[in-house]
Amino acid sequence: MPKVSASRPSSKPKLGQHFLANDAAALRIVEALGDISNRTVLEIGPGRGALTSLLLRRARRLIAIELDRVLSAQLRMNFALAPNVEIIEGDILAIDLDTVFGPKPGTRRPGIEFTPEPVPVVGNLPYYITSDILLRLFAYRRYFDTLVLMVQREVADRLAAAPGGSEYGLLSATTQLYARVERLFTLPPSSFSPPPKVQSTVVRLTMAPRVEHLKVPEAGFVNFLKLGFGQKRKTLWNNLKERYKPDDLRAALTKAGIAPTVRAETLSLEKSAALFRALPAASAGD
Ligand code: SAM
């Protein structure tokens, strides 16, 4: 079993480097992925390898993307003898995921559509870019089926929140448009080195896109949600009137059975979709 090197670079707070120092929690995170013996797994931000060393023993293949050059080099060295691990030095927000998970050059056959093998994703995320990472994974969801992610506890609350509650917002709506959310367990700052200032929660997101079921075009509906949640203190009417004519808006709200005084935070995705469908597409921008 490859060992993590004894000489350790200091952590870079700007990169969200709080390394997991709780073996039992690391095991629970990896086990939350289920049986991965036959799967390729993507790890985001492997850091010093707390999860990596467990994953490589269980997964058929492991692809780990780490931004920090020094950590990537160390991981490559530490896991050089593990034939099923690929450490990619790169930014999870910028790396071309089609190149990593899409069809390999020369393997495409004319007339045969490429069907990716879905990959589970795991990571103790750098908290400063949690939402951006989630949105990117949703954008590339054709490659992923399960996401087991450590996030800041308040973010987990938002991901899992139900409409009408104080935690429900654009991130909740967007996440629940693409995935079922389970909160698994919460860890105190002392489970990390150096300890962060916040509590951390592991969530499991199972990809289950609802776009088709809601009968809405994806890009247009996501933009509509952004507009509706636009300014938190404004009513739905005041946020939407930026783009829709008052007569169209009034008619659509009536048709969808929604009072103009409500805020977007109180609407279920079904209700938002009903409103979106009742509005004229032409004035929706896209
Ligand atoms: N997985 C390790 C663990 O549990 O101990 C490290 C987790 S640490 C919270 C987050 C890791 O993500 C760090 O290693 C950091 O360098 C890396 N990271 C930060 N920004 C990143 C990015 N944009 N792309 C890939 N990795 C990133």
Mutate to test the pocket of ligand 1, among 8, 10, 14, 17 (most ligand atoms within 8 A of CB): 17
Instruction: State whether the beta carbon of 150 lies less than 6 angstroms from ligand 1.
Output: no
3-state secondary structure of 105: coil
Q: How far apart are CA 248 and CA 271, in angstroms?
A: 17
Q: Which CATH class is domain 3-209?
A: alpha beta
Instruction: State whether the beta carbon of 45 lies less than 6 angstroms from ligand 1.
Output: yes
What is the CA(217)–ligand 1 centre distance, in A?
A: 34
Q: Whose CA is nearest to atom 19 of ligand 1?
A: 15
Of 275, 276, 269, nearest in space to 164 by CA: 269
**Contact assessment for residue 152 and residue 74, using Cβ atoms and an 8 Å cutoff:** no
Instruction: State whether the beta carbon of 147 lies less than 6 angstroms from ligand 1.
Output: no
Domain range 213-283, CATH architecture = Orthogonal Bundle (1.10)
Give residue limits of the domains in the chain.
3-209, 213-283
Of 234, 266, 261, nearest in space to 167 by CA: 266
What is the CA(154)–ligand 1 centre distance, in A?
A: 19
Mutate to test the pocket of ligand 1, among 93, 124, 201 (most ligand atoms within 8 A of CB): 124
Per-residue pLDDT of the chain (286 residues; tens, 9 = 90+): 454 444 566 788 889 999 999 999 999 999 999 999 999 999 999 999 999 999 999 999 999 999 999 999 999 999 999 999 999 999 999 999 999 998 877 666 677 777 888 999 999 999 999 999 999 999 999 999 999 999 999 999 999 999 998 899 999 999 999 999 999 999 999 999 999 999 999 999 999 989 999 999 999 999 999 999 998 888 999 999 989 999 999 999 999 999 989 999 999 999 999 999 999 974 444 4
What is the CA(107)–ligand 1 centre distance, in A?
A: 32
Instruction: State whether the beta carbon of 91 lies less than 6 angstroms from ligand 1.
Output: yes
- CB count, 10 Å around CB of 102? 16
Of 231, 186, 180, nearest in space to 210 by CA: 180
Instruction: State whether the beta carbon of 200 lies less than 6 angstroms from ligand 1.
Output: no
C-alpha triplet 172, 188, 156: angle, nearest 5° = 5
The residue written with tokens 């959310």 in the block is 181
Atom number of ligand 1 nearest to Cα 192:
5
**Contact assessment for residue 251 and residue 245, using Cβ atoms and an 8 Å cutoff:** no
